Amino acid sequence: MHSSKPHRISCNSLHFTGSVQHSRGGEVFATSVDCAESAKGSRVRTVDWLFDWHSELGRKDRQVLKIELFHEPSIIQGLVSLTDKGDHIYMHLIENASWNKGKNKLYCGVAGNLVAAACKLSFDLKYDGIVSFVPKTQLIEHYQKTLGAKLFGSNRMFIDTREAMILVKNYLRQTI
């Protein structure tokens, strides 16, 4: 993976259908993943997030994607910040909304849908589904198990073509 000048990701075709599951009832809901609004007109409420998403939304080299349920399109369930590196997609940050974290989370599969959307974007850009990121150390094993991510060096991870295909198929119900 080389590190050429980053490109801003276009959101013309970033609309996907996947699913998240209600953690208590087990009901599965259709979702859409699309570009989040600019920092100025954003519906991202600071109180719902640990990361500074307004800062991410204001960066010209990054694109923030949001995931919403079709039946609740005004409520953002999760966010991911991405950059097109010219040969792969780099994931800067990913976060579930506060109500989708921990033992009492409302919905399961939110982050998985966002990572699958990043993989789909990588396929669309002819990068073979490859997505890289630097995880928190305590999440390395979790990402290996849940995403099939591989460790590259001491702290960088990536999702390779095979694993990206599995994520897109499982979360977005699409084949590449």
Q: Are 21 and 102 in contact (CB under 8 A)?
A: no
pLDDT band at 11 (very low <50, low <70, confident <90, very high): low
Q: Sign of torsion, CA 143 149 150 155?
A: negative
Buried b (16+ CB within 10 A) or exposed e, 130-141: bbbbebeeeeee
pLDDT at 66: 93
**Share above pLDDT 90 across residues of the chain, in percent, rounded to a whole number:** 63
Q: State both tokens at 97.
A: 């909304």
Greater confidence (16 vs 48) lies with 48
108/116 Cα distance (integer angstroms)? 14
Q: Answer whether residue 7 shows pLDDT above 70.
A: no
The stretch 129-137 carries a mean pLDDT of: 96
Cβ count near 2 (within 10 Å): 7
- Superfamily for 18-172? Gcn5-related N-acetyltransferase (GNAT) (3.40.630.30)
Q: Answer whether residue 135 shows pLDDT above 90.
A: yes
pLDDT at 13: 43
pLDDT band at 8 (very low <50, low <70, confident <90, very high): low
Q: Answer whether residue 149 shows pLDDT above 90.
A: yes
6/60 Cα distance (integer angstroms)? 10
Q: Are 31 and 19 in contact (CB under 8 A)?
A: yes
pLDDT tens digits, 85-114: 999 999 999 999 999 999 999 999 999 999
pLDDT band at 16 (very low <50, low <70, confident <90, very high): low
pLDDT tens digits, 46-85: 889 999 999 999 998 999 999 999 888 889 999 999 999 9
pLDDT at 118: 95
Of residues 107, 121, 95, 109, the one with CA closest to residue 146: 109
What is the residue-wise DSSP string for the chain?
------BPPP-TT----EEEEETTT--EEEEEEEEPPPTTT----GGG-SS-HHHHHH-TT-EEEEEEETTEEEEEEEEEEEEE-SSSEEEEEEEE-GGGSSTT-SEESHHHHHHHHHHHHHHHTTSTT-EEE---GGGHHHHHHHH--EEETTTEEEE-HHHHHHHHHHHH----
pLDDT at 140: 95
